[in-house]
Amino acid sequence: MAQYNVSEATNLSGYTFSTNPGLNGVTNTSLSITATNTRVLRPIKLKKTWADDLSGYTKPNVTFRLYKNTANDADTATEVGSYTLSNNTNPSFVVTAQVPKYAEDGTSELFYYVSEDAIAGYNTPEGRKALVLEDEVLNVSLENSLKVRDVNIEKTFEGLDLYTTAEQAKLPNVDVGII
């Protein structure tokens, strides 16, 4: 049997070319081979970290929004998807996925950004953060911290009018702790 090779006369930028490993529909007069162009993909990794020790707390659900753009400009990037993580289904709070490396034209490399929906009770990073290429993977890590609130406590002594000013100055200091 004769051997045949299939190739494209023009390589499509941003795509890989492959043929099926076997032969389809061999007859006495024809041979059918399937050729496929597949977009070049790049892995991404979105990681959620918590600045505070959340022992005893259930981590809230986190929603990432993914954006892409052919220009290195986060503000004009368009949303292409979202990922919601929960402590029940993904306790490591890491998303890995594959995204196209090039735009539909096959030549313009895409830039990716991520934002995070606000989480009640936490300081959430604002704006869109660029994914950075490290070891052929686009990475980003977003960190949250519990919101710290100022609590004003005022200690008063009843019956101070019964003491002289000198006696009031001798009243003990009181340490107050919040539990």
- Copy the structure tokens of residue 93: 């709070």
- Degrees, nearest 5: CA angle 116-53-145: 30
Q: Is the Cβ–Cβ distance between 48 and 94 less than 8 Å?
A: yes
Question: Partners of 48 in the beta sheet?
Answer: 142
Q: Is the Cβ–Cβ distance between 80 and 136 less than 8 Å?
A: no
Comparing 79-93, 108-122, 156-170, the range with the smallest average pLDDT is: 156-170
The rounded distance, in Å, linking the Cα atoms of 127 and 73 is 12
More confident residue, 53 or 152: 152
Q: What percentage of the chain carries pLDDT values higher than 90?
A: 23
More confident residue, 21 or 153: 153
Dihedral pair phi/psi, residue 168, rounded to 5°: -65, -35
Q: What percentage of the chain carries pLDDT values higher than 70?
A: 84
pLDDT band at residue 117 under the 50/70/90 scheme: very high
More confident residue, 91 or 41: 41
pLDDT at 125 over 80: yes
Q: Is the Cβ–Cβ distance between 50 and 56 less than 8 Å?
A: no
Q: Is the Cβ–Cβ distance between 94 and 140 less than 8 Å?
A: no
Amino acid 179: pLDDT: 64
Q: State pLDDT tens for residues 135-173.
A: 889 989 888 887 777 777 777 777 777 777 777 667 777
Question: Partners of 50 in the beta sheet?
Answer: 144
Question: Partners of 28 in the beta sheet?
Answer: none
Amino acid 78: pLDDT: 94
Amino acid 67: pLDDT: 95
Selection from 47-61, 65-79, 88-102 with the highest mean pLDDT:
65-79
pLDDT band at residue 175 under the 50/70/90 scheme: confident
Q: Is the Cβ–Cβ distance between 114 and 129 less than 8 Å?
A: yes
Question: Partners of 37 in the beta sheet?
Answer: 17
Q: Is the Cβ–Cβ distance between 121 and 32 less than 8 Å?
A: no
More confident residue, 167 or 97: 97
Residues in the chain: 179
Q: Is the pTM of this model over 0.85?
A: no
Amino acid 90: pLDDT: 63
In terms of DSSP bridges, do strands 62-69 and 78-85 run parallel, antiparallel, or are they unpaired? antiparallel
SS3 59: coil
CA distances from 126 to 13, 54, 111 (A): 35, 21, 19
